Structure 1
Amino acid sequence: MKNKLIEVHLVLVSIGMVFLFASCNITKKSPYVASKNGLNKITLSLNENGELFYNVTRRDSILISDSPLGLYCDDQNFTSGLSIAEISSMEERRETYDLKVGHYKNIDHVFNGRSITFKNSADASMIIDLIAGEEGVAFRYRFPDEGGQPRIVKDEKTGFHIERDAKAWLQPYNSAGQYTPGYEDFYLNVNSGDSIQGARNPSVGWCMPALFHVNDQKNWILIAETGHDGMFSGCHLQADSEGGLYKVAFAKEDERYTLPLEEKENAYPTSNLPWAMPWRAIIIGDQAGDILLSTLITDLAPASKIEDTSWIEPGKASWSWWSHPDDHSPAIYKEFTDLADTFGFEYTLFDAGWEKANQEGGIIDHAIAKGIKPMVWGYSASYFDSESRKKRFRELADMGVKAVKIDFWCSDRQEVMAALQSVFEDAANEKLMINLHGSTMPRGWHRTWPNFMTAESVLGTESYFYEPRFPEKAAEQNTVLPFTRNVAGPTDYTPFALTMRQYPRVNTAVHELATAMIYTSGIIHFADSKQVFDGLPVAVKHLFKEMPATWDKTECIVAEPGKAIILSRREGAKAYIVGINGGDQEMSVKLDLAKYGKGFSKFSVITEGEDPLMEFKTETYPITADWSYTMAPKGGFIIQFVE
């Protein structure tokens, strides 16, 4: 009997040891999420100190090596002593929606996702949500607890560990100033880990989105932020990226030059609980074109909060400021309204100084009588206070205004990010569309608020007035920004701009015209004078009238950031191919026009004229499967398929 009791005891101990060993394996295993096609994968891990890391792979090759995660809060520490409390089951998530502005109108993407709950040494919970799809992976932090005092995040440990000497296109995040941060610097071609050199202004870090060519240049990744609902500060990457580790940094407390913001010792993100933070998205592609066409940023943004969007219409606009910056007379505004009418533009923008011109000359009524939708400029501080903003929007809507360009935000502080959400909402309540200038980078907001049509956040054509290096670098930048800035959201580059300014243009006229079809903007604000528009050849005038402001389908034919970009664009029955050369040397291209021009018998091509800087040439040919063309240095071409 005694021996049997001993045997039973040994069996129970053995079973217990098995369960204990299995339990240890559960707590130590690395939770992950992979896309349905198995290509993209994000994996979490804990070290012996309970510090949290992740890595990202594609086809099992490392794209982002072990990188830190974790949050240090005023009341809790989630940077060490962590353990896994729960791993949810894998769930499929489908995002189906329409975009008013984009490379595509209809989006339908499937993701895998799961949530991992961690406990710290004080038994407090932090959740990491993971997502993986065909276009990349993403993660976000979440605090599930309810009630209590607002929580302050004093530091975020999140980093992105990029391999040594990987090539990158990064934009400096400018220090606070009268016009900064406004995401209006050059994207610099650097190696992973390089310090900031050559910025336009003193800088404290790198902007997101940040583009890297990784895995021995087999893959491209774009690091971005999305799903921002105003409950967190806008973030950038720290300047110190020693060893290629790019860490997340919060907005700075001194970003308050243009807004009535409270002076603070810090600008830490703060919120009541529960609290879901923005997604850190890593867009992945084998080609740079995969990055350009990705909708991961809008896939992870909240769904549209506007039920009826029928009143929101993309279009083209005339704009007097670029050609007549000091003329605020009723006559000049009316001249550009008439220009919009002549070219079939839907909108005209009345920039700074429009109020006096309207009082003296009725410029808004003139536009409405012509069937042109008026847009007006405003200063950010006038739209920061909730009650003042709502009152002003009502007044503008009653006047017949259809859209508002609000300028000089120059801050990523949490109060500003929250205010922008309210701007979109209050404007939608009055059926007004919004254009942001001097502002933070969009973060998928054109899905959540389809009345958000475009934003500056770019070193655009106004730089011919202000930046001596812009003419030489503009062509290169025009082949980088579609893979970086424009992936984040619609871009108000204010294209065309042929008249020579303080810093004379060196891009060809066709290159400048092509940017209107390379960049995506819900309302395209064309720069330059009535005289320039009136002097255009008939074929170019026709293109201006026919050119869409948004697209049903886009394909990337050539995608070489900093060198060249060629896109196939379709909208309804209209089909185009547009290309630009970002370099100083000629570039030969060979295209199968039969593939992209199905249903058409001929194509019209706009190229450089006798004076490449100011003139155009247009020719029409039968469609061929092997069309060859040599792009001029800093040149371009536009093909329109015709029946």
Structure 2
Amino acid sequence: MKRIILTVALMMPLMLSAREATVTSPNGKLLVEINDQNGCASYAVTLDGQQMVLPSALGLKTDFADFTQGLKILNTKATPVDRSYEMRQVKQSKMHYVATQLDVDLENAKHQKFTVQFSVSDNDVAFRYSIPRQKNDNPKCALILEEATAFSLPEQTTTFICPQIGPFTGWERTKPSYEEEYKADAAMNVKSQYGRGYTFPCLFHEGDKGWVLISETGVSSQYCGSHLSDYEAGKGYTIAFPDAKENNGNGSAQPGIMLPGTTPWRTITVGKTLKPIVETTIPYDVVEPLYEPSEDYKAGRYTWSWLIWQDNSVCWDDQIAFIDLAAEMGYEYCLVDGCWDTQIGRDRMPALSKYAQEKGVALMLWYNSNGHWNDAPQTPRGCMDTNIARDKEMRWLKEIGVKGIKVDFFGGDKQETMKLYEDILYDANRYGIQVIFHGCTLPRGWERMYPNYVSSEAVLASENVYFSDYHAAQESFQLTMHPFCRNAVGTMDWGGVIMNKYMSRDNKSRHQRQTTDGFEIATGFINQAAIQCVAVQPNNLEDLPQHELDFLKQLPTTWDETRFIDGYPGKYVVLARRHGNDWYIAGLNAQKEPLKLTLDIAGYQMLLNDQADKKGHITGTSITRIANKALKKGKLNITVQPNGGFVVF
């Protein structure tokens, strides 16, 4: 069922009349109302009679027109959407998007026109602005000065969000890079840590009403990346553009578009439970591929020396050891990190790649994106920042058989930086190369838009577990947060199923990992990326139980279905994922106490779980056959240890 209404409401004396457009989702439960009361456009979102987004501002200001005041709705046009498509590298392989698109045409007091396009499915609202050419077929381009777009939420709402940091901060002035800490269940009226708002995605809990996830998708070279402002009472959060000092001050913070043209989609996912949040595919549903893949790109697993062995490991002998490790584990890739051009030598890389290929392993090579936008010193530099340099480098990569690159240290969210991401991806596709980004922004529909795109870091990732005991203690909190926010809207290269007990090459010194082996193995199923790092070390072949090694050898990285089972952000998460005909249920517990769960196990036979003695001390993991009694009942009672995890398969 869908319903679209355009009404004229007579208001109180001396007030302007208001026109209202209303659109519902195909199942009739999600309602979006748009009106132009007092010359200001706004929208509100209601789910099953509960208002999830209060009336919130719409509109934008351009260099030629103010589309925030003196507005009136002219007409609407509804179009049913029923689209099926397939993807290889996200949480689901076969997508079916059913929605109603409603175009709401508005004009300001000067009779300048624009359109707000809404696409409403059963749990998702996506909307964007479309600006036509105006009188006499002009202007033919526009600078977007600011957006009025707001998200006003009920007062009782709590937040699960990550602060935006300022430009030219952090190590070697490389931030912002989406690597700040999420806070759970915080009040909306608490100012962000750096006074600059919050990075997408942003998760909100509205108590008994349910959950709201806000993000954006469809950001390409044609716009900048945005974020949310700090909360303002009576107004909510608003769309904020990049800081002018990002990208070392180069490029405009305000995006420019051709006319007619559109902005990216703002997305709102709503649910009474967290199920629609975790399972949403809206980042991909409303965008299209921008080019065809040049080859059939392969998913897989990769080894990575740098996470534990660090800079000195980027040498010939150590990379041979990690190529051999990848071959032993049956993994498809080995990532060679920064400074390979000086510490191994560019002239020796063809031989290293040939050795890897003879072992059935393909190399991925690390690159610095710079450029001129921060002080990160690692080389290779100056290979990815111009078309001429990229073409030369990628031709060489193809010649020596390299299949992927990881490009690091970007400069922010300006349109100029978004163009760099797109240029790297497009040029890499011409040479059959897949791309992972680090020190970077959030992917915004890129898995569908760019077929050789793999994943992005854009998260406080695994390297921080190595760097400090504090972050090691935070690992379980972070990885039970991201399925509900960061990883819900895009693939995430968190960077490693970490199997060393200690954060050192000898596996005896420095600080300890604070998660169990069961937790780490389960992260391979919870964290989603089509090419996944499994950070086994050569010593793990001797010091890990054989059943753990055997299980990690079979770890899938692509999923045909994903289902939310249970969880709460920052506390615990249980997901079911299907790879081909095989289903897996995986869970993580970040709490200080054991977590008791009852799972529906119809069709499952085995359990990998942490083992604990009577005092609760972890003694290892085991893979056991599920008892016949549990199989007959179809229910399994399981205890998940603190900082622990499990996999049912």
- TM-score w.r.t. structure 1 length? 0.89
Which structure: larger Rg? 1
Is 1:62 aligned to 2:51, yes or no? Answer: yes
- In the alignment, does 2:303 pair up with 1:318? yes
- For residue 41 of structure 1, the aligned residue among 15, 31, 45 is 31
| Partner secondary structure for residue 121 of structure 1 | coil
Paired position in structure 2 for 1:6: none
Q: Are residues 1:274 and 2:265 paired? A: no
What's 1:363 paired with? 352
CA–CA separation in structure 2 for the residues paired with 1:384 and 1:612:
51
* Residues 406 and 434 in structure 1, CA contact (< 8 A), matched pair in contact too: yes
* Conservation of the 8 A alpha-carbon contact between 1:169 and 1:210: yes
SS in 2 for 1:208: strand
Q: How does 1:284-433 map to 2 (within 5 A)?
A: 284-303=270-289, 305-306=291-292, 311-326=296-311, 327-356=313-342, 357=344, 359-360=347-348, 362-381=351-370, 382-433=383-434
Correspondence 1:443-458 to 2 at 5 A: 443-458=444-459
Secondary structure of 1:511's match?
helix
Letter in 2 for 1:128: V
State the alpha-carbon separation in 2 of the partners of residues 173 and 332 from structure 1. 37
Root-mean-square deviation (CA, aligned residues, Å) is 2.3
Q: 1:628 aligns with which of 637, 640, 645?
A: 637
Map of 1:511-590 to 2, 5 A cutoff?
511-590=519-598
1:122 aligns with 2:110: yes
SS at match of 1:480: helix
Counterpart for residue 132 of structure 1:
120
**Is structure 2 residue 609 aligned with structure 1 residue 606?**
yes
Offset at residue 557 of structure 1 (A): 1.4
Asked whether the 8 Å contact 1:506–1:613 carries over to 2, the reply is no
Structure 2 residue 462 is the aligned partner of structure 1 residue 476: no
CA contact (8 A) 1:233 1:414 kept: yes
Choose from 107, 110, 116 the match for 2:95. Answer: 107
AA of the residue aligned to 2:264: P
What SS class does the counterpart of residue 204 from structure 1 fall into? coil
CA contact (8 A) 1:508 1:608 kept: no
- What are the Cα deviations for residues 335-365 of structure 1, in whole angstroms up to 9, with x where unaligned? 1111111011011111112224253472111
2:197 aligns with 205
Q: Corresponding residue for 2:221?
A: 230
User: How far apart are 1:468 and its partner, in Å?
Assistant: 5.1
Deviation at 1:34, TM superposition (A): 1.1
Alpha-carbon deviation of 1:308? 5.7
Give the CA deviation at 1:37: 0.3
How far 1:390 sits from its partner (Å)?
Answer: 2.2
Aligned partners of 2:581 and 2:145: how far apart in 1?
53
Specify the SS of the correspondent of 2:110. coil
Structure 2 residue 601 is the aligned partner of structure 1 residue 593: yes
Q: Are the aligned partners of 1:509 and 1:608 in contact in 2 as well (CA < 8 Å)? A: no
Aligned ranges 1:138-287 → 2 under 5 Å:
138-145=126-133, 147-148=138-139, 150-176=141-167, 177=169, 178-196=173-191, 199=193, 202=194, 204-214=196-206, 216-243=207-234, 245-257=236-248, 262=250, 267-287=253-273
Structure 2 distance, partners of 1:300, 1:159, is 20
Q: Per the alignment, do residues 612 and 523 of structure 1 end up closer, same or farther by CA in structure 2, a change over 3 Å counting? A: farther
Distance 2:281 2:95 in 1: 8
SS at the partner of 1:54? strand
* Cα distance in 2 between the residues matched to 1:571 and 1:422: 32
Q: Deviations over 1:71-110 (max 9, x none)?
A: 112221111011222211x211122111111221110111
Compare 446-455 and 186-195 and name the one that shifted more: 186-195
Distance 1:609 1:494, change over 3 A: farther
**Aligned with 2:539: secondary structure?**
helix
Q: In 2 relative to 1, CA 605–497 (structure 1 residues): closer, same or farther, beyond 3 Å?
A: closer
Name the amino acid aligned to 2:421. Answer: L
For structure 1, the residue ranges without an aligned partner over 5 or more in a row are 1-20
Residue number in structure 1 paired with 2:377? none
Deviations 1:435-488 (A, max 9, x none): 000000010110111211111001111112335532232212211101100122
User: After the TM superposition, which residues 16-95 of structure 1 pair with which residues of structure 2 at under 5 Å, given as runs?
Assistant: 28-48=18-38, 50-88=39-77, 90-95=78-83
**Distance (whole Å) between structure 1 residues aligned to residue 322 and residue 439 of structure 2:** 24
Whole-angstrom CA distance in 1 between matches of 2:619 and 2:532: 21
Distance 1:473 1:432 in 2: 34
2:617 and 2:304 map into 1 onto residues whose CA distance is 24
Q: CA deviation at 1:581?
A: 0.4
Q: Distance in 2 between matches of 1:118 and 1:452?
A: 37
> 2:163–2:182: 8 Å Cα contact kept in structure 1?
yes
Listed one character per residue, the Cα deviations across residues 167-191 of structure 1 (whole Å, up to 9, x for unaligned) are 2200111111212111111211244
Task: Note if contact 2:598-2:637 (Cα within 8 Å) is conserved in structure 1.
Answer: yes
Write out per-residue CA displacement over residues 142-200 of structure 1, whole angstroms, 9 at most, x where no aligned residue.
Answer: 11115536311111111100111312200111111212111111211244423246x5x
Partner residue of 1:11? none
Aligned CA distance change for structure 1 residues 569 and 22 (closer, same or farther; 3 Å): closer
User: Which range is displaced more, 432-441 or 385-394?
Assistant: 385-394
In structure 1, distance between residues paired with 2:390 and 2:596? 52
Cα distance between partner residues in 2 of 1:429 and 1:94:
32
In the TM superposition, residue 532 of structure 1 has moved relative to its aligned partner by: 1.9
The DSSP-based 3-state class of the residue aligned with 2:20 is coil
Q: Relative to 1, partners in 2 of residues 1:421 and 1:27: Cα closer, same or farther, differing over 3 Å?
A: farther
Separation in 1, partners of 2:553, 2:424: 31
State the identity %. 27
2:378 aligns with none
- Residues 629 and 340 from structure 1, CA distance in 2 versus in 1: closer, same or farther, beyond 3 angstroms? same
Contact preservation (8 Å) 1:36, 1:133: yes
SS of corresponding position for 2:247 = coil
User: Contact 2:8/2:18 (CA < 8 Å) preserved in 1?
Assistant: no
- In the TM superposition, residue 522 of structure 1 has moved relative to its aligned partner by 1.4
Task: Give the conservation status (yes or no) of the 8 Å contact 2:159–2:188.
Answer: no
Structure 2 gaps of 5+ residues are 1-6, 371-382, 504-509
CA distance in 1, matches of 2:157, 2:608: 38
Question: Bigger CA drift: 396-405 or 522-531?
Answer: 522-531
TM-score (norm 2): 0.88
* Distance in 2 separating the partners of 1:467 and 1:241: 35
Offset at residue 429 of structure 1 (A) = 1.2
* Contact 1:162–1:192 (CA under 8 A) maintained in structure 2: no
Residue 207 of structure 1 aligns to a residue whose secondary structure is strand
Q: Which amino acid aligns with 1:319?
A: W
Cα separation, partners in 2 of 1:298 and 1:406, compared to 1, 3 Å: same
Contact 1:479-1:561 at 8 Å conserved across structures: yes
Residue 260 of structure 2 aligns to which amino acid in structure 1? Answer: P
Higher mean C-alpha displacement, 499-508 vs 606-615: 606-615
